[in-house]
Amino acid sequence: MYTIPHLVLPQVKDLHRIDVYTSNGGYDQIRKVLSGMSPDDVINEVKASGLRGRGGACFSTGLKWSFMPKSNDKVKYLAINGDESEPGSFKDRQILEYNPHQLIEGILIAGYAMGITKAFIYIRGEYHKWVRCAEDAVKEAYAKGFIGEGMKSAFGTSFSMDIIVHKGAGAYVCGEETSLMNSIEGERAYPRFKPPFPANKGLWGCPTTINNVETLAAVPPILAIGSDAYSKIGAAKHPGTLLFGLSGHINKPGVYELPTGIPLRDVIYDIGGGIPGGKKIKAIIPGGSSMPPIHPDEVDRVLMDNESLKEFGSYIGTAGVMVMDEDTDLVKVLLRLAHFYHHESCGQCTPCREGCGWMEKILKRMVKGDATTHDVDLLFSVASNIEGNTICALGEGAAWPVKGFLKKFRSEFESRVKPSREFFSLNVVHGKESTRNQLILTQ
Ligand SMILES: Cc1cc2nc3c(=O)[nH]c(=O)nc-3n(C[C@H](O)[C@H](O)[C@H](O)COP(=O)(O)O)c2cc1C
Ligand code: SF4
Q: Is the pLDDT of residue 433 over 90?
A: no
CB of 383 within 6 A of ligand 1: the answer is no
What's residue 429's pLDDT? 44
CB 38 within 8 A of CB 205: no
Residue 370's SS3 state is coil
- pLDDT tier, 421 (very low <50, low <70, confident <90, very high otherwise): low
**Whose C-alpha lies nearest to ligand 1, atom 10?**
55
CB of 176 within 6 A of ligand 1: the answer is yes
pLDDT digits (tens, 9 = 90+) for 38-67: 999 999 999 999 999 999 999 999 999 999
**Whose C-alpha lies nearest to ligand 1, atom 31?**
393
Backbone angles phi, psi at 245, to 5 degrees: -100, 115
In angstroms, rounded to a whole number, what is the distance separating the alpha carbons of residues 122 and 5? Answer: 28
Residue 172's SS3 state is helix
Task: Give me ligand 2 centre to Cα 239, in Å.
Answer: 31
Q: Give the position, in ligand 2's atom list, of the atom nearest the Cα of 353.
A: 7
In angstroms, rounded to a whole number, what is the distance separating the alpha carbons of residues 69 and 10? Answer: 34
Percent of the chain at pLDDT > 90 equals: 93
CB of 354 within 6 A of ligand 2: the answer is no
Q: Is the pLDDT of residue 273 over 70?
A: yes
What's residue 430's pLDDT? 44
Q: Is the pLDDT of residue 323 over 70?
A: yes
CB of 352 within 6 A of ligand 2: the answer is yes
CB of 181 within 6 A of ligand 2: the answer is no
CB of 81 within 6 A of ligand 1: the answer is yes
In angstroms, rounded to a whole number, what is the distance separating the alpha carbons of residues 290 and 22? Answer: 38
- pLDDT tier, 442 (very low <50, low <70, confident <90, very high otherwise): very low
pTM of the complete model = 0.94
CB 148 within 8 A of CB 162: yes
Closest ligand to the CA of 219 = 1
Q: Which long-range contacts (CB under 8 A, 24 or more apart) does 189-192 make?
A: 189/346, 190/346, 190/348, 191/346, 191/348, 191/391, 191/392, 191/394, 192/391
CB 213 within 8 A of CB 102: no
- pLDDT tier, 441 (very low <50, low <70, confident <90, very high otherwise): very low
Q: Report the DSSP pairing between strands 77-82 and 118-123.
A: parallel
CB of 395 within 6 A of ligand 1: the answer is no
HEC profile of 202-219:
CHHHCCEEEEEHHHHHCH
pLDDT digits (tens, 9 = 90+) for 195-223: 999 999 999 999 999 999 999 999 999 99
In angstroms, rounded to a whole number, what is the distance separating the alpha carbons of residues 434 and 333? Answer: 51
CB of 179 within 6 A of ligand 2: the answer is no
In angstroms, rounded to a whole number, what is the distance separating the alpha carbons of residues 109 and 90? Answer: 25
**Whose C-alpha lies nearest to ligand 1, atom 29?**
176
Q: Give the position, in ligand 1's atom list, of the atom nearest the Cα of 59.
A: 25
Q: Give the position, in ligand 1's atom list, of the atom nearest the Cα of 215.
A: 26
CB of 178 within 6 A of ligand 2: the answer is no
Q: Give the position, in ligand 2's atom list, of the atom nearest the Cα of 176.
A: 4
- pLDDT tier, 425 (very low <50, low <70, confident <90, very high otherwise): very low
Backbone angles phi, psi at 60, to 5 degrees: -60, 125
Backbone angles phi, psi at 298, to 5 degrees: -95, -15
The partner residues of 324 in beta bridges, in order of sequence, read 283
Domains and CATH numbers, the chain: 18-231 (3.40.50.11540), 234-325 (3.10.20.600), 330-414 (1.20.1440.230)
What is the arithmetic mean of pLDDT over 370-378? 97
Q: Is the pLDDT of residue 124 over 80?
A: yes
Q: What residue ranges in 177-328 does DSSP mark as E strands? A: 208-212, 234-235, 238-239, 241-248, 254-259, 281-285, 320-325
Q: Which of 85, 180, 352, 386 to mutate to test the pocket of ligand 2 (most atoms within 8 A of CB)?
A: 352
Backbone angles phi, psi at 276, to 5 degrees: -55, 140
In angstroms, rounded to a whole number, what is the distance separating the alpha carbons of residues 316 and 262? Answer: 12
